[in-house]
Every structure is written in structure tokens, then in C-alpha cells.
């Protein structure tokens, strides 16, 4: 297992994600994160892709509310 350490560029919190070495190499060679790491949560994959943690992501992209007419 590889341990990947990231730090959110917005809140500066440190995070670690563990992945299998062969999966990490496949991702580095162009495989999509959701295909390379199906065992990770969407939040963990986002940490690997952008470094942004789920709290900061939710602040940047809040859920849209349904508009009522």
C-alpha cells in the first residue's frame, strides 16, 4: 500500500489516502481515478485529483436548491 499525503490548498488541513501501488501507477499513467481506485470514496479520490477536501469543496460548490415557481 502507498500512503499519499495531501494538504488542502484552501484550509491547509493535511490528509492521507492509502492506495495499492499498481493502482497508483495506473492512475499516473492516465487511468481515471474512479477506475483506478474504485475502493476509495469520491471525497478521497477528489483529494488525490485536486487536493481539495470535502469541507472546502462543499463551501465552494454548495448544493443547488430547487427553485420554486
- Average pLDDT along the chain, 69 residues, taken 10 residues at a time: 96 98 98 98 96 96 73
> For residue 35, what pLDDT is reported?
98
Q: Among candidates 63, 57, 61, 62, which has minimal Cα distance to 11?
A: 57
Query: d(Cα 61, Cα 57) in Å, to the nearest integer?
Result: 6
> How many C-beta atoms lie closer than 10 Å to residue 22's C-beta?
10
Whether 54 is covered by a domain: the verdict is yes
Residue 66 forms part of a structural domain: no
CA 24 remoteness from chain centre: 13
Q: Is there a contact between 5 and 14 (Cβ–Cβ < 8 Å)?
A: yes
Q: Which domain holds residue 37?
A: 2-60
How many distinct structural domains can be found in the chain? Answer: 1
Residue 40 domain-assigned? Answer: yes
The pTM score is 0.85
Residue 44 lies in a domain: yes
Amino acid at each position: 500500500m502507498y500512503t499519499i499525503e495531501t494538504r488542502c490548498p484552501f484550509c491547509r488541513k493535511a490528509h492521507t489516502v492509502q492506495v495499492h501501488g499498481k493502482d497508483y501507477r495506473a492512475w499516473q499513467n492516465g487511468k481515471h481515478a474512479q477506475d483506478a481506485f474504485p475502493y476509495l470514496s469520491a471525497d478521497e479520490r477528489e483529494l488525490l485529483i485536486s487536493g481539495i477536501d470535502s469541507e472546502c469543496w462543499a463551501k465552494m460548490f454548495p448544493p443547488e436548491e430547487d427553485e420554486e415557481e
